[in-house]
Structure 1
Amino acid sequence: MTRLIVLIYVCLSFAPIARADDRLVRLAAPAELVESGFLKHLLPRFSLKTQVRVQIVSAGQMHDIALGPDGTPVFTGSDVTWHLLVLAPQHPGVQRFTKWLDSEVGQRTITSYAPDEVQMFTLPQDTGAVVADLQFTGDAVEGRAVSRQMCGRCHVVTQTERMNAIGSTPSFFVLRTLGNWADRFQAFYVLNPHPSFTQVEGVTAPFAQNRPPPIVPIEITLDQLEAILAYVAGLEPADLGAPLQHQ
């Protein structure tokens, strides 16, 4: 019996230990790319699918990947082709990020960034290939319940609760008419006013101590957000009688 205990102890001693930062990838990117807003569009969608958080670091800080002139071309914008340079190829989070960027979903995310309805980035040597639509695998029933609990205080989220929301906020049915509704829902927590009172587990940074949320905060997981997306995907868009004009 003693020998068996010793053997188990030895095996456990040599077992691989999961790195604490396997779900954190540090990205170095030029200021012009950060200021374009593109990374705020791209990175939350990657985190949603993988639960791996990408942290943008300042120049000179230690990083796992970098966007710039060196590496593998990943997207093109303003006559500049941006490359991804991998400095930690064995990092599990880096491997998931590079695989996701090269996937149909990742490529669609890149090409769908269109502030003011103007597409900002294309794929390198893009020939207009069609990228597959996003598929949401969450539980739509759970998504309805989470939407009522967390979003219903401001938005109309079901047909039977039209009097329980703030009149100035669009309903889920109106939002569903937008061509980029999925993008908006996937990254709602970076769109004002949500950042001031929303926390997404494993994605958003904690609230600053000197800037507490102005209302009771929303605390949500990525699985719950995926469930909301599945619920909204099944909603019938509102009949507005004409294309919705939005900013």
Structure 2
Amino acid sequence: MRWLLVILALSLAPFKAAAEDRLVRLHAPEALIETGLFDYILPRFTLKHRVRVELVGTPDEADMTLGTDGQPLFDGPGQTWAMQVKSPDHDGTATLADWLTGDIGRNTVLAYAPEGDPLFSKAEPAKRETAAVELSGDPQLGLRVSQAKCTRCHVVEDSNRMSGIGSTPSFSVLRSLPDWEQRFAAFYVLNPHPSFTQIAEVTPPFDETRPSPIVPVHMTLDEVEAVLSYVAGMAAADLGAPLQHQ
């Protein structure tokens, strides 16, 4: 008889595991529970995915928590509610997380309006703080280097507005681009510069079989940084206005 019970228990183990995968233990603060949101959204989720959700009393018991920490889901009343997945390998929890962050789950939450007006709204993305980059180069040196080594192709400033190559953008036009800093900081790897530019201790020598097609431009990293500092302080071209120079 004992062996029969053991065999029966072993045969039922996969079904028990499957049942566990279909049960998600969710913890949320009373303030959120009292809104009635879960009575509205969880039956809809269960009907769609055949995964049952049980509210538990403490975060330690939970596969997922809703609170102030984690991935923002929705706003209101009075705060942003975020999701933390504590059992990422649990199939049911992964299904619930996908539903809450997907269009159907999000729209279900936003549709909850117990008194006629929606109680929740889409969470606003957190604003990222961008650290300002301090440039230590000498702008005056940057101007001199630019005048000496860049005016063959570019208009650097008003004094050489009649020179340069017409199809090549001026420094002020380049300064107006969102990625101007990256362009100037690494200009020597952007075409056509690699074919005729050498940065001391950075770029490899020209291939002897492919010499520079024009008189090479030789610069140091200090000079590159100086040019970057000069361009940082110049006025960007207004691309919405008629161009005064190219």
- Shorter-chain TM-score category? 0.3 to 0.5
Q: Bigger relative contact order, structure 1 or 2, given CA contacts below 8 A and separation 6+?
A: 1
Q: Of Structure 1 and Structure 2, which has the larger fraction of its residues in helix?
A: 2
Structure whose CA Rg is larger: 2
